[in-house]
Chains A and B, each alone.
Chain A
Amino acid sequence: MKIHEFQAKELMAARDIPVPRGEMVTTVADAVAAVAPLVEATGNPVVVVKSQIHAGGRGKGRFLEDPDLGGVNVVLDGIDGGLEAAKRKVGELAGRMLGNTLVTIQTGSAGKKVNRLYIEQGIDVERELYLSVLLDRASSKNVVMASTEGGTEIEEVAAETPEKILKAEIDPGLGLLDFQARQLAFGLGLEGVAFKNGVRFIKALAAAAVELDTDLIEINPLVVAKDGSVLALDGKMSFEANALYRHPEVQDMRDLSEENAAEIEASGYGLSFIKLDGTIGCMVNGAGLAMATMDIIKYVGGEPANFLDVGGGADKDQVTAAFKIITRDPNVKGIFINIFGGIMRCDTIAQGVVDAVSEVGLDMPLVVRLEGTNVSLGKQILDDSGLNILSATDIKDGALKILKATRS
């Protein structure tokens, strides 16, 4: 689960991880009102107006409605023009950003609507660094990654100058040790006050990652200010779904407006659904088989419209919900159901499909491939239903049949 930058900073601040002062706003008036207290508290006339969406690359992103405007804007007007000039500029920017659509490298061409802004104090930046905590699957441990190359995409650093990425494993019992934090801070070239602050920052971040069960915490850039303080200028946090049950305060931060409506609805029925751009809807039991079904649709020349895992069960309610979700996508021209009934019997699944089709009233081709326990009984139920259901003998046969049916 992803959260916004302002929420990540809230969680960090509560764990003694230094972040710039800032305020989340949803209206132009609140954006303007946030300026004076910020400038007064920090003594810095510079403020930053940042779009809050669940996607990276906001700084380089551009608004669909306002192609010259980026997603993150530094307001310098206060330096010469004073507080009123800063407020005017923030108001103007907020008016152009709120309610408009930001397109970044991570949003896709449709972009994301900006409903929230974060008004943040300006920082006199001396250096930009990179810091993250994530799982290393090879060692089965969380690792802290640090780099002097802050502000750039870490994937580029990894590809071009991998020696500039420093790593330290977090011991599952002991946490990140002091000497490891020192090694990372030395490796980042920190000295004096900044070194002490950096060590403290790294240790606190590692502890927060473990405590909060994060998938990923990424601070890019982590900045060293002219006064030697070390702060998270940006902050990205995502959380591991399996552990959310023990973090109610994080669950409350979920912003459903940032997520795909169909995917949310599907999860409510115990379905795992991911929307894609093709024309053939898929309904499969098991994640591996679901991926393999998408692959074979592509292999025979079609394009899958979605990933959908109905899990081990696939009863009538689930199949009905899955039909409704799949057919709501106007691109979908046909549906391929691929079920390997192991413990679950094929006749039960077939009855579920027939009942669901009768209820939903499907008006597009449907191919069903059943295999496993009671398969002939299952096929009989499909054949006897009087419904327009094509039966397939194996996965490839099913993929070819649905492709042909959607093209005729």
Chain B
Amino acid sequence: MSVLVDKSTKVMVQGMGKTGRFHTDKAIAYGTQMVAAVHPSRAGQTEIYEGETDHSGVPDRPDTYRVELPIYRTVREAAAASGATVSVVYVPPPFAADAIMEAADAGLELIVCITEGIPVTDMVQAKSYLATRQARLVGPNCPGVITPRQCKIGIMPGYIHEAGNVGVVSRSGTLTYEAVHQLTQVGLGQTTAIGIGGDPVNGTDFIDCLQMFNEDPATEGVIMIGEIGGAAEEEAADWIKQHMSKPVAGFIAGATAPPGKRMGHAGAIITGGKGTAADKIAALQAAGVAIAPTPTDMGATMAEAMSR
């Protein structure tokens, strides 16, 4: 079992630039079912992907692959023709919010937006639009979602992951890789790893992921990686206290970050002065979360929390 994606998930890609094509190739090598691409002016063509299989991904495949990815004009057409229920978005920032809304309108179940640098105003609008549709958004500005050995959507290196029983949810990219790598090293594989992204306005949040992992029978523990700013970690702590039935480990980055950089100083007001690493760590510890004292201890802290 896993959450969000598994070996039966069919994925389309929006955004066929250099980054989109590079990671589409990596996903196919991993064994992800990439079934369609969307490009308004290149519809009718196919894009050929071929190379050596990434054997850290889906098991029991030949050593090489060759996929002819059909390109469609719109998400709707791509979904109807390919049966894709998930889209991964690599569209450049000025057009990314529109791409997200197109995917939501087409009735997709899951939209994973990798794009970094989308204007906040655009995401405020997209988020408001998403409230009127069924689709779940992960991201933007995130590494993506991976269920090891089944489906890799996004830019994370596949080989550091291993299938197992820990759910991973994180606001950071490379810090997630660090956590996953440590988990794999201490013998803890992952059910699913979800990067929820570092932007102030995003789709799926910590609580959504904790809830999914709590309900997933294969997940036996969860590690959440947060950072300074906003109050998402504090809200997650409240939820954990009330609902979580599985051990949770955590790490919060930014204890030494100077105040006032990036976070507009009035930004802390609305959330009642929350946002520092110390506040977040205190809230999570009060909810029973095992906090890794340093980023080197994330794997060990999870292992210890699960052995209790």
- Beyond A138-B231, A288-B253, A395-B296, is A242–B157 a contact (Cβ under 8 Å)? no
Partner of B254, one of A243, A286, A291, A371: A291
Task: Please report A residues at the B interface, Cβ cutoff 8 Å.
Answer: 106, 132, 134-138, 140-143, 145, 154-155, 158-159, 162, 165, 167, 171-173, 210, 213, 215-216, 218, 238, 240, 242-243, 245-246, 274, 276, 284-289, 291-299, 304, 307, 312, 340, 342-343, 371-373, 394-397
**Are B257 and A307 closer than 8 Å at their CB atoms?**
yes
Chain A residues closer than 8 Å to B94, beta-carbon distance:
245-246
Partner of A213, one of B120, B231, B267: B120
**Are A289 and B266 closer than 8 Å at their CB atoms?**
no
Could you tell me which residues of chain B, from 74 to 125, have a CB within 8 Å of some CB in chain A? 93-94, 117-125
Chain B residue at smallest Cβ distance from A289: B174
How far is it, in angstroms, between the C-alpha of A312 and the C-alpha of B198 when the chains are bound? 15
Chain A residues closer than 8 Å to B123, beta-carbon distance:
140
Chain A residue at smallest Cβ distance from B298: A292
Minimal beta-carbon separation of B114 from chain A (angstroms):
11
Jot down 27 A-B pairs with beta carbons below 8 A, ordered by A: A136-B270, A137-B201, A137-B230, A137-B267, A138-B270, A141-B124, A158-B272, A173-B128, A210-B121, A213-B119, A213-B121, A215-B120, A215-B264, A242-B118, A243-B121, A276-B256, A285-B174, A286-B172, A288-B174, A292-B251, A292-B294, A293-B295, A294-B256, A295-B253, A295-B294, A342-B157, A371-B178
**Are A342 and B177 closer than 8 Å at their CB atoms?**
yes
Partner of A292, one of B156, B159, B230, B253: B253
Minimal beta-carbon separation of B34 from chain A (angstroms):
17
Chain A residues closer than 8 Å to B253, beta-carbon distance:
288-289, 291-292, 295
Q: Is B228 an interface residue (CB 8 A)?
A: yes
Q: Is B291 an interface residue (CB 8 A)?
A: no
Minimal beta-carbon separation of B159 from chain A (angstroms):
7
Partner of A394, one of B160, B170, B172, B296: B296
**Are B296 and A172 closer than 8 Å at their CB atoms?**
no
**Are B157 and A291 closer than 8 Å at their CB atoms?**
no
Partner of A158, one of B118, B122, B170, B269: B269
**Are B157 and A343 closer than 8 Å at their CB atoms?**
yes
Scoring A106, A246, A312 by chain B CB atoms within 10 A of each residue's CB, the highest score goes to A312
- Beyond A291-B253, A292-B175, A295-B294, is A243–B120 a contact (Cβ under 8 Å)? yes
How far is it, in angstroms, between the C-alpha of A316 and the C-alpha of B258 when the chains are bound? 29
Q: Is B149 an interface residue (CB 8 A)?
A: no
Chain A residue at smallest Cβ distance from B143: A342
Chain A residues closer than 8 Å to B228, beta-carbon distance:
291
